[in-house]
Amino acid sequence: GAGPWEECFEAAVQLALRAGQIIRKALTEEKHVSTKTSAADLVTETDHLVENLIISELRKRFPSHRFIAEEAAASGAKCVLTHSPTWIIDPIDGTCNFVHRFPTVAVSIGFAVHQELEFGVIYHCTEERLYTGRRGRGAFCNSQRLQVSRETDLSKALVLTEIGPKRDPATLKLFLSNMERLLHAKAHGVRVIGSSTLALCHLASGAADAYYQFGLHCWDLAAATVIIREAGGIVMDTSGGPLDLMSCRVVAAGTREMAMLIAQALQTINYGRDDEK
Ligand code: IPD
C-alpha cells in the first residue's frame, strides 16, 4: 500500500516535472549568469526561480518540514540535517551545462526523515526521463526498473566523475592525478558529463560501473543516493567508510568490490563540509 511519505513523494514528482518544463524552455533563451565560489561555479535567474517555486509549493503543503537547497545555501542558509522531515533540493544540477545549452541538466529533490533518506526524484529535463527511488521499493527511470552493473574488476570499468568548482593549481593537480591513477589501473574510460546527479543516475541504470567526486554537495547526492541503493548499488565515503552526506565527497559503484578499488586509488581533495559553511 501507500507508504507514510506517499503524498510527499507525489508532490516531489509533480514539482520536478513542473520545474523541468521551465528549465527546458529557459535552456535556449538568453541568461543572466553570475558566479559563486569560483569563476566556474555558476548560477542563473532560472536556478533561483525554480528553487523558490519548489520550496514555496512544498512549504504550503508541508509547513513543518525543513529545507536544504543549493541557492539558499549560497546565500548563507545553514545546511543542517535534523531529525525533522527535510527536503534536499538542487533546482538545476548542471548549471554550467544549462548556461552553454549542453543538454544534460536535471532537477534533484531528495527527502530525509530522522536523518535517513526516504526517497529521491531526479528529472533529466531535456530527455524527459524521471528517475525515482524510494527506500525499500526499488528505483525506476520512468516505469523501467533500474539495476546497477555487477562489475568488480576496475580494468573492465567505465568510471564517471565531475571536476568540482575549485580550479587552483593544487586542486587541479590532485584531480588530474586521481584520473591518471584510474587510467593506469586500466579503467576502460573516464567520463565527465557536467551533472553529478545525472552521472549518478547513469550508474544506477547500469550504464557505468563507478562514480567518484570531491567537491559535490549534499543536494547533488541526496536523491541520487536513494536511487543507487534501490538499484542495488553502493554509496560510500572516499575513505571506504560509510557515506557522510555533508562531507562533499563520494564513491559509488554497482558492487562493494568496485567501490573499494576506486576508494583505494584516490587521493583526498579537501573541500570542507556542507554543515560547516
Ligand atoms: C554541480 C554539477 C557539477 C559538479 C559540481 C556540482 P550545480 O552542480 O553537478 O558537474 O562538478 O560538484 O555542484 O552547481 O550545477 O547544481
Which is the catalytic residue, given 54, 89, 92, 109? Answer: 92
Range list for CATH 3.40.190.80 in the chain: 154-276
CA angle 55, 59, 65 (to 5 degrees): 105
Atom of ligand 1 nearest to the CA of 193: 10
C-alpha of residue 76 to centroid of ligand 1, in Å: 18
* pLDDT confidence of residue 229: 98
Is there a catalytic annotation at residue 168? no
* pLDDT confidence of residue 3: 77
Atom of ligand 1 nearest to the CA of 192: 10
* pLDDT confidence of residue 44: 96
Architecture of domain 6-145: 2-Layer Sandwich (3.30)
The DSSP line for the chain is: ---TTHHHHHHHHHHHHHHHHHHHHHTTS---EEESSSTT-EEEHHHHHHHHHHHHHHHHH-TT-EEEEHHHHHTT------SS-EEEEEEEE-HHHHHHT-S--EEEEEEEETTEEEEEEEEETTTTEEEEEETTS-EEETTEEP-------GGG-EEEE---S--SHHHHHHHHHHHHHHHHTT-SEEE--S-HHHHHHHHHTTSSSEEEEES--HHHHHHHHHHHHHTT-EEE-TTSSB--TTSSEEEEESSHHHHHHHHHHPPP-----GGG-
Which is the catalytic residue, given 70, 118, 151, 274? Answer: 70
Range list for CATH 3.30.540.10 in the chain: 6-145
Which is the catalytic residue, given 47, 51, 93, 162? Answer: 93
Give me the interface pTM, i.e. the ipTM: 0.93
Q: Per residue of the chain (277 residues), what is the pLDDT tens digit?
A: 567 899 999 999 999 999 999 999 999 999 999 999 999 999 999 999 999 999 999 999 999 999 999 999 999 999 999 999 999 999 999 999 999 999 999 999 999 999 999 999 999 999 999 999 999 999 999 999 999 999 999 999 999 999 999 999 999 999 999 999 999 999 999 999 999 999 999 999 999 999 999 999 999 999 999 999 999 999 999 999 999 999 999 999 999 999 999 999 999 999 999 999 8
Atom of ligand 1 nearest to the CA of 217: 13
Contact assessment for residue 122 and residue 201, using Cβ atoms and an 8 Å cutoff: yes
Residue 133: all three cell numbers together:
527511488
Is there a catalytic annotation at residue 90? yes
Is there a catalytic annotation at residue 104? no
Top CATH class, 154-276: alpha beta
C-alpha of residue 1 to centroid of ligand 1, in Å: 36
Give residues (CB < 6 A) around ligand 1: 70, 90, 92-95, 162-164, 194-196, 215-217, 220
